[in-house]
Structure formats: structure tokens, C-alpha cells
Structure 1
Amino acid sequence: MKTEFTFGDIVSVAGYENRIFYVDAWREVKATDEWGVSEYVEFELTDAINGEFLDAYETDLRLVCRKQFAEDYLLEYDETNYPEPSGGAFHIADIFPTLPSVESVAELGKGLKKVASDMSKKKAQEVSKEIDGLLDEYNDNMRLYETFGDAEYKTKADVVLAKLRRWANRCRN
């Protein structure tokens, strides 16, 4: 199957307004059921700003920028009011359908301080692990580029470098 998108392209996705994603991979799917055979392409995407992962169908994608212009596009991209990732959302009303007593709220407050401290440590470890992974990916792609001279490895390394720059900008702010 031929697709109009390629690795490193920046796309928008229906239902994820005001967000942009890198095309990381795609797979050709051939499904057979009692009504027949259907073939389609699924894409694996990474949010270009916050790194959230997403799977989407080709019909839901719209090209924003080709991979060779992606780094320049992102350097000029205005991240103001960029939507937060949707994966970790929860609502207090789901946890407390009725209002708790004053005493139980006080006890929760004590527990939440400890949980917040533990969560911030865990978040720092996750961020460190993600940055280490990006650095490894960048180094691997640059070694492959230097060894084989294939421009696709350089493009992948540039995409990773852009992600690292965004991490650095977020850490400064």
C-alpha cells in the first residue's frame, strides 16, 4: 500500500485540534471478517511538542510539514496555549461522588503531600529516562548516518534533536 506520509513528517489528526504529531511508523493492516476483507494503514505518531504517543488511521491525518522542513517549522512554532496531553486526565468527581467529611479531607491532605513528593521524584526519573533514551536514539542515528551516509538517519537524528531542544526549553521555563 502506498501512503502520502513518511517518517518524520508533521501531521495534524482529526479530533486532536491544535496539536501536531510526528509520523514515527505505519503498518498495513489486512483484516478479514464475515463480510469480507478490508485493507487500511495505521500510523504511530508522537506529539511534536509534549511527546505523547497516538495511533491513528491515514484518513484522519492531514499533512502539516514534510520531514525535511520539520526542524525549521518547529523552531518557529508558537507553543503558547498548546493543549496538555490527554492521557493522564482524571476527574475528582469520579473519585469522590459525594463530599467527604472535614476530618477525612484533613487526613487526605497529609497523604497527598507524601504522594506529591513521591510523584515528583518519579516524574523526574521518567523525564531523565526519556531524555537518556532520546540521546541514545540521536547517537545511534548519527553513527548510522556517519557509517552508511543514508540521509534518512540524519533526518531521524534531526527530529530527535528537535525533541531534545523542546525538552531543554521546557526545563528552562
Structure 2
Amino acid sequence: MTENGQPKFCIGDLVLIVHESTVGKIVKYYFINQKWYYSLEGRTELFLEDSLSPIRDNQMQHENRENILISYKFQLGDIVQVKGYGEDLFFIIGFRVEIWRYKDSAWEDIIYELSRIKDGQWLEASEEELTYITNEQNGKKLLMQRYPSEKRQLLQPSKLTNQEKRKTTDIDELLDMYNDYQYLFLNFGEAKYKKKMKEILKKLEALAKSPFQKD
């Protein structure tokens, strides 16, 4: 706070969140227990004044910004085949863009996150490895035609056990990854580890909400 007890920042100010190294815009501020707290645009938590640093106009001028147009060949829910997995069918549960910049070269990679229809196995693949089959709406009809015998076999305890093991293995692997990043975040406090934790939770949620789960 200032010498006369007023808040250091005003509504609309751009500030740096020190422990995250990210920029936020102040939308409200509160005086709680003799300390100023700030609410930032798009954030649910409050930030103590000491955790924020002002951003000057000359600092903003030195930021390099780039607008990138990304064209996606596939959409969420699309049914695809993957190179190296034969006739197995997968559906797309998510995707991300990896941006690469070097002194003499630049490119973007689109990575798709997939779940195999017949057993829920999770997989990542590049756009070049995928072959489009159909969309999500037609995929449910295709599932009934392609795996009719497997659907009946789900009533057999041995078959169900194998599929449960596959699903458990995928979930365990993701949970192990989550625990590793949680340990790194708790010990080093870097925002990139927290971001990875959120990504893994999204993957678990997407697998759980698969529209092709066989009941």
C-alpha cells in the first residue's frame, strides 16, 4: 500500500503475478485485515498486494506478440485410425498445439489425444499419423456394426476383467504423472507444473466421459 494507506494499484492496471510470471488485469480490490487484496480478470482467487508487481508501458512495448492461424484437420469426437494400430478405431478426446521457434526456423505441431473405442486405451498422435473415418454422430452407429460380437462378450467375466485392467492401467499412468507434477509444484512452485496437473485432470475427465463407453 502507499504511505497514506491507499492501494498501490488501480482498477484496469496491468500487473505481473510474481510467482507465476504471468500478466493480469485488476478488476477489483479489497481491504482485509489491514492488507490490500486484488481480484484479476479471469481469475477466481485473490492476490495479496505484495505478490503483484506493476508493469510499465515501456515493458509492454518490448513484448513480442505473434498471431498464429492454426487449421485443424480433425475435430473433437471424430473417429480415426492411427498408423501402426491396424484397423483399430480411436476417437479424439482432445488436442493441443506445440509452437516451436528457433533463430532460423519455426513451425507448429498439432498433437491429438485419443481413446481407443474397443478398450479405452489412451494415446497421443500427430496429425500425419491419423486417417479420418467419420464423425462422432456416425461413429456410434459404426461401433454397433464393427464390434457386435465384442459387445456380447462383455457379459463374460473374463472379458470384462481384461478391459477393466486396461482402463485401470491407463488411469494409473495418468495418476502417476499427476502425482509427479504435484510433487514438483509443491516443492518448486513453478506455474508450469500446476498447468500440467490441470492438463492431466482434463485427460482423466475426457476418458471418463467417453461417448463410446460400452455399458
TM-score by length of 2: 0.39
Q: Whose relative contact order is higher, 1 or 2, with alpha carbons under 8 Å and at least 6 apart? A: 1
| Structure number with larger C-alpha Rg | 2
Structure with the higher helix share, 1 or 2: 1
Structure with the higher strand share, 1 or 2: 2
TM-score by length of 1: 0.48
